[in-house]
């Protein structure tokens, strides 16, 4: 069974914020939450990661629920270049990454 | 520039043949990974390695084999035992430790003639 659950697709308007949800109810205390995005026929690109606290970087913000059973990737102002498949992933203590099926984000001009 | 190089980008195989996909990294990463991606699907782990001369099976290792003789290299062989090998194959590497991201190559697309 997948360790993470994400909606299959989401749509956003350009220049508006996007909140991409992820459920990981079986997360263990030492699992890190990673987010990647993938364009067609390319390898995934790292976006952001965190353990317990909310995180910000130049690409996005990551909001982690207090019980760590869910998280949200926030793109503050979506652009057309943000259209991609976004993966929420758990990384365990044994250096394994668990990919879900991802959310396809469509950005409308 | 440091990165991961996968070759070739496109590969064609005849039925019954083994074929080897190359993955090289110059990031000095200890861990390396092979994933398979089918159209419209997420990534599934085939094999991973955390140290030279050691590797572990992932979720879909049947019909595949790997070696890790050098830190920089982690080739994947798709054997004739893999009955449905047509897919997009991605190689990745990372520093050991949960707070370290993976870096991916650009992938190899394998097709059966």
Using the predicted structure, report yes or no on whether residue A1 has a pLDDT greater than 60: no
Task: Write down the pLDDT at residue A25.
Answer: 93
Task: Write down the pLDDT at residue A100.
Answer: 85
Asked if B89 and B105 count as a contact pair (C-beta separation under 8 A), the reply is no
> Which residue from A36, A43, A95 is facing B96, i.e. has the nearest CB?
A95
Task: Write down the pLDDT at residue B97.
Answer: 76
Contacts of A97 in chain B (CB under 8 A): 33, 45, 102
B47 interfacial to chain A (CB closer than 8 Å) = no
Confidence band for A93, pLDDT divided at 50, 70 and 90 = confident
Distance from CA of B96 to the nearest CA of A (A): 6
B73 interfacial to chain A (CB closer than 8 Å) = no
Task: Write down the pLDDT at residue B113.
Answer: 83
Write down the residue that tokens 């090289």 correspond to: B24
Task: Convert B44-74 to b/e letters by CB count within 10 Å (16 or more is b).
Answer: ebbbbbbeeeebeebeebeebbbbbeeebeb
Task: Write down the pLDDT at residue A2.
Answer: 63
Task: Give me the residues of A, 29-88, that contact B with CB < 8 A.
Answer: 30-32, 34, 36, 41-46, 49, 51, 87
**pLDDT by residue (tens digit) across B17-61?**
999 999 999 999 999 999 999 998 899 999 999 999 999 999 999
B105-to-A24, A83, B24 alpha-carbon distances in Å: 27, 20, 9
**pLDDT by residue (tens digit) across A4-19?**
999 999 999 999 999 9
Mean pLDDT of all residues belonging to chain A: 94
Task: Write down the pLDDT at residue B16.
Answer: 87
Can you give the length of chain A in residues?
Answer: 109
Average pLDDT over residues A74-93: 95
Query: Are the Cβ atoms of A102 and B42 closer than 8 angstroms?
Result: yes
Give the best residue of B43, B56, B61 to mutate against chain A (max A CB count within 10 A): B43
**pLDDT by residue (tens digit) across B48-105?**
999 999 999 999 999 999 999 999 999 999 998 888 999 999 999 999 876 889 999 9
Q: What is the dihedral sign for C-alpha B102, B108, B109, B112?
A: negative
Distance separating alpha carbons of residues B82 and B76, to the nearest angstrom = 12
Task: Write down the pLDDT at residue B93.
Answer: 96
Contacts of B97 in chain A (CB under 8 A): 95
The neighbour count for residue B8, using CB atoms within 10 Å, is 11
Query: Are the Cβ atoms of B104 and A101 closer than 8 angstroms?
Result: no
């Amino acid at each position: 069974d997948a360790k993470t659950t994400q909606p299959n697709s989401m749509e956003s308007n350009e220049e508006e914020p996007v909140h991409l949800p992820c459920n990981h109810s079986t997360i263990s205390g030492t699992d890190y939450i990673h987010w990647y995005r993938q364009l067609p026929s390319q390898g995934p690109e790292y976006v952001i990661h965190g353990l317990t606290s909310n995180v910000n970087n130049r690409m996005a913000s990551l909001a982690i629920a207090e019980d760590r059973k869910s998280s949200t990737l926030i793109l503050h102002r979506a652009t057309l270049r943000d259209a991609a498949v976004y993966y929420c992933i758990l990384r365990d203590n044994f250096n394994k990454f668990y990919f879900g099926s991802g959310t396809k984000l469509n950005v409308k001009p | 520039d440091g990165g991961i190089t996968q070759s070739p980008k496109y590969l064609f195989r005849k039925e019954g043949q083994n074929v080897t996909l190359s993955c090289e990294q110059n990031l000095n990463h200890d861990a390396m990974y092979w994933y398979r991606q089918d159209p419209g699907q997420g990534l599934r782990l085939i094999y991973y390695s955390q140290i030279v001369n050691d590797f572990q099976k992932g979720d879909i290792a049947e019909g595949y084999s790997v070696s890790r003789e050098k830190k920089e290299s982690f080739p994947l062989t798709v054997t004739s035992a893999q009955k449905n090998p047509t897919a997009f194959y991605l190689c990745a590497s990372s520093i050991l430790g949960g707070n370290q991201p993976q870096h991916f190559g650009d992938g190899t697309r394998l097709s059966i003639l």
